[in-house]
Structure 1
Amino acid sequence: MTSTQSAMTVRMPTLGESVEEGTITRWLKEPGDRVEAEEALLEVSTDKVDTEIPSPVGGILLKVLVSEDDVVAIGADLAVIDTEGPSSPRTPETTDGDTDLSPSLDAEGQAPGRTRPESPAPEQSESEPASPEREVTHSKATTGSRSSGESSAKGATTETQQATAEPQTSRSGAEATVSTSSAASQDNPTTVSEKLPRIRRTIAARMVESLQTAAQLTTVLEADVTSVADLRRAHKDEFYAHTGVKLSFLPFFAKAAVSALSDHRVLNASVNADVTEITYYGRVHLGIAVDSDNGLMVPVVRDAQDLDIEGLARAIADKAERVRTGKIGPDELGGGTFTLTNTGSRGALFDTPIINQPQTGILGTGAVVERIVPTRRDGALSLEVRSMAYLSISYDHRVVDGADAARFLTTIKQRLEGGFHASDLY
């Protein structure tokens, strides 16, 4: 801080690469309240993540300069804090100083009310919608940016493909109000109308945009993952003792998919808006759909092709934990080149996920279930209990043919059915 006076202006901080603005969703303090340094002051929503903004200094909040639901540019003035104020509020002073803040992503709690600003913030358009699918992340439906010459995924996708909007007040500021329709009230006195949270509105826009942009088609096949199930069962205790991370099926699916992308590059690619150019990526930045209380987000595991099962398991567990605790950074939600959504995590057998624009494909992995399956060995037919799972690939049929998608799934299937050994774990 460079100011010599006690009144400090709080500005909208940088919220991640390519993020130019944010929407004020909730003030956690009101004028007259004392706020400590690094204490949460307000919540801001972007197209990537809901972010809790901390106060850069301690003092008395003199006034707020923007309203809830205002769209505010990075660097814009948000509030004025008296850094030398007593425990009771006093009138605002002229502000000389200002400071930038870094967002805190661990948002909890309810928000009190606040006064309206003295002057409205300039009107700006809301963040540009991208793509996704039925349960996008709070990727805020995770989204993407273009960096280092790579087009990034601009949409969110699904882990279980069913994010639900809670009827109570949400963290993004939606307020439920009792319906005033007398007829509805008489027929159903519990009828409630609710404003959709901003994240759900973003998700909705991106789902529709994705479907309107690409000719999407889904191909499904079944894989026998008994060998993976046996390997996992034999080593899961040792793996947990060694890594502190549970060994699920997901890192095996991820490893098989990443390995297959090296031979099927059209699915680790992006196409430009007028479909005149396709970009093939030499590295795999793998988006993993993660469900959370705030909606589904798709954090990205960078350079997934360099990771073994242990590395993928650690990375996936870390991303999932930080999504669910609100500590994921906005820059971790962009730049993906291919996405994996574990639709089987809640028991779904398979799904038809919607691709993240401008990616060309998204893999859905279904629940692993034991079934009686006819098998033929040395010409003899028998019935065996096998661990089976469906794999689905949704792809952009403008640049990916059905045969390409089927070959990609077949490569994953072959890897899962016999390509993993104990030596692959670490």
Structure 2
Amino acid sequence: MTASPTTTVSMPSLGENVTEGTVTRWLKQPGDTIDIDEPLLEVATDKVDTEIPSPIAGVLTEILAVEDDVIDIGAPLARVEPTDAAPVSVATPPSVSHQPTPPAQEAGDIVPAHSPAQPNSTSETAPSAASETGSYEQSAPETRPTPEPAATIAASTDSARPDVGSVPDTDTSSGGADRVEKLPRIRRTIAARMVESLRVAAQLTTVVEVDISSIAQLRRDNKEAFERRTGHKLSYLPFFVKAAIEALREIPVVNSSLDADVTTVTYHRACHLGMAVDSPKGLMVPVLREAQNLSITGLAEAIASAAERVRAGTIGADDLSGGTFTITNTGSRGALFDTPIINQPQSAILGTGTVVERLKPIYDASGNLTIAVAPSVHLSLSYDHRIVDGADAARYLGAVKQRLEQGYSASDLI
């Protein structure tokens, strides 16, 4: 049958400096009817996973790239017959076999963790919107079949399903055999970046405990009005972020980057803040540009917006690039503190733990010792000892601690 004119769907631009993408899953098959802007397939890069929409309404007639194919930007992916065109024969897509790999033969591909899967991220921390401590967190995703960063990679839970089937269930004594799955691209990216970060930098972590009684009182007094005014819950996280950003002005080396040859250091004028966000596919680290210019309210709104876009799969590759300093909210899942991995080429990453009530010794005016209960949080700074000294790290954490213990005022929430 003679074919009518068709539209070729090509690999679109996926962000600055991204030259190719890997086909991870086709959402439509030849013969399927599609609407304009309806997702056709999912592709992955080292920065983000995303869905590619159809530029027209019609019928998918031919698939030109199979799963796991690496396709250059602008190269053809599929052909679509417009709805108003004459019907054409449907081409069968190239076949690709996917067979389970025995555990003994599994080859590991390996990226950052408590730094996201993001071009220069780490994290680990993706926020949980319902958490008291904040919506970002560094905890591991509940279903990790990305994302980094990490930062850095967005897609639906279904898209994370492995291509390789599970091993037959033959072991009845223990409830079934081990399951072997193909490691998703985002996990491979995160793994590789994490290992690379530890390889190239001399990393260590310093931890302080902070009394946040003043912040807790301010939050209690204003959280209802804040939510009515902004539509967002007032967590502790934007206060931690604000103090962390302000302290960078005093200790600029924490907001710096070494070059690959370790011959020059760049002290960043602005704080482009990476915030680790957990998603069904893994960790991603969206970047809040010029974060030093944002108020506590502005930070709360920016953090919530970034987290929503990550989880909705609408975050772009450019939104995951260019960070100069990262914060991971490891406390959103109840962690006291951890030792996050730096998001290269940054020099430091701050982890915020869960807020807990602690007994605190207090001396009254007469010198008598009493015991009080105070809300406290652990802050952990992992840093690159090639450029940041232990004294620098201690001074930085001391400056953050001082700001939080002094507290903010209601006017800071406007």
Report matched runs for 1:165-204 at 5 Å.
165-166=143-144, 170-179=158-167, 189-204=176-191
TM-score with structure 1 setting the length: 0.83
Deviations 1:291-316 (A, max 9, x none): 12121111111111111111111111
- Structure 2 CA distance, aligned partners of 1:220 and 1:38? 48
Instruction: Tell me the equivalent position of 1:258.
Output: 245
Q: Residue 22 of structure 1 contacts residue 45 of structure 1 at CA under 8 Å; is this kept in 2?
A: yes
- Structure 1 CA distance, aligned partners of 2:169 and 2:180? 10
User: Aligned to 2:340, which of 327, 349, 353?
Assistant: 353
**Which stretches in structure 2 are left out of the alignment for 5+ residues?**
97-108, 126-136, 146-156
Q: Residue 361 of structure 1 contacts residue 396 of structure 1 at CA under 8 Å; is this kept in 2?
A: yes
- Structure 2 CA distance, aligned partners of 1:384 and 1:17? 53
Higher relative CO (Cα under 8 Å, sequence separation at least 6) belongs to 2
Q: What secondary structure, in the 3-state scheme, does the structure 1 residue paired with 2:204 have?
A: strand
Measure how far apart 1:176 and its partner are.
4.9
Distance change in 2, residues 1:276/1:377 (3 Å): farther
Matched, 1:308 2:295: yes
Instruction: Tell me the equivalent position of 1:373.
Output: 360
Instruction: Tell me the equivalent position of 1:387.
Output: 375
Instruction: Tell me the equivalent position of 2:413.
Output: 425
Q: Given residue 70 of structure 2, which amino acid in structure 1 is its aligned partner? A: V
Matched, 1:269 2:256: yes
Distance change in 2, residues 1:90/1:367 (3 Å): same
Q: Residue 110 of structure 2 contacts residue 188 of structure 2 at CA under 8 Å; is this kept in 1?
A: no
**Which stretches in structure 1 are left out of the alignment for 5+ residues?**
93-113, 119-128, 144-152
Distance change in 2, residues 1:89/1:30 (3 Å): farther
- What is the aligned-residue RMSD (CA, Å)? 2.3
Q: Given residue 211 of structure 1, which amino acid in structure 2 is its aligned partner? A: L
Q: Residue 197 of structure 2 contacts residue 343 of structure 2 at CA under 8 Å; is this kept in 1?
A: yes
Identity %: 55
Deviations 1:149-204 (A, max 9, x none): xxxx244432233235457x85145135232597x677653421111111111111
Instruction: Tell me the equivalent position of 1:103.
Output: none
- Structure 2 CA distance, aligned partners of 1:390 and 1:247? 19
- Structure 2 CA distance, aligned partners of 1:25 and 1:387? 46
Matched, 1:160 2:127: no
Instruction: Tell me the equivalent position of 2:113.
Output: 133
Distance change in 2, residues 1:237/1:84 (3 Å): closer
User: Aligned to 2:304, which of 317, 322, 329?
Assistant: 317
User: Aligned to 1:286, which of 270, 273, 280?
Assistant: 273
Measure how far apart 1:82 and its partner are.
1.5
- Structure 1 CA distance, aligned partners of 2:142 and 2:112? 15
Q: Given residue 346 of structure 1, which amino acid in structure 2 is its aligned partner? A: R
- Structure 1 CA distance, aligned partners of 2:78 and 2:122? 32
TM-score with structure 2 setting the length: 0.86
Q: Report the count of equivalent residues.
A: 377
- Structure 2 CA distance, aligned partners of 1:237 and 1:181? 52
Q: What secondary structure, in the 3-state scheme, does the structure 1 residue paired with 2:282 have?
A: coil
Q: Residue 58 of structure 2 contacts residue 80 of structure 2 at CA under 8 Å; is this kept in 1?
A: yes
Matched, 1:142 2:118: yes
Matched, 1:339 2:326: yes
